[in-house]
Amino acid sequence: MSKRAFTEHYGKWCKKDGYHYSADKAEDIYVKSCGHVATLSKNHCTKFLVTQAIQQLNTVSETLSVLINEMRRLSALLPEYPVVMAMHGVGGILVPQLMSEIGEV
């Protein structure tokens, strides 16, 4: 996006959301962001890399879900589970974490 296009877009955003517009501020933001906004070319390799990253994130998310469910299942078998569960502010996710950190009392 060119500096002029960004300045116009920034001005419209400021007006829409009720902010005070400043051309100097718009230019400052534009100049500072030019060196910090990464872009990737739109080609097969980029699409592949993004797809792989998404697959890895989904795998990590699924694995985490399985681990949390197993922690919940195992902690529910212990006799102190109802006591910890009765604590104010403690729920299904925090119970196994507290029990594992505290250990056997």
Dihedral pair phi/psi, residue 73, rounded to 5°: -60, -45
Which pLDDT score, from 0 to 100, does residue 105 have? 63
pLDDT digits (tens, 9 = 90+) for 44-68: 999 999 999 999 999 999 999 999 8
Q: What is the mean pLDDT of each run of 10 residues along the chain (105 residues)?
A: 89 91 90 78 90 97 94 89 89 86 74
Q: What is the pTM of this model?
A: 0.53
Which pLDDT score, from 0 to 100, does residue 42 have? 84
Structure tokens at 83: 């006591």
Which pLDDT score, from 0 to 100, does residue 49 have? 93
Which pLDDT score, from 0 to 100, does residue 31 have? 87
Which pLDDT score, from 0 to 100, does residue 54 have? 97
Q: Which region, left, alpha or beta, applies to residue 104 given φ > 0 means left and ψ of -120 to 50 means alpha?
A: beta
Rg (CA), the chain: 25
Q: Return d(Cα 64, Cα 62) in angstroms, integer.
A: 5
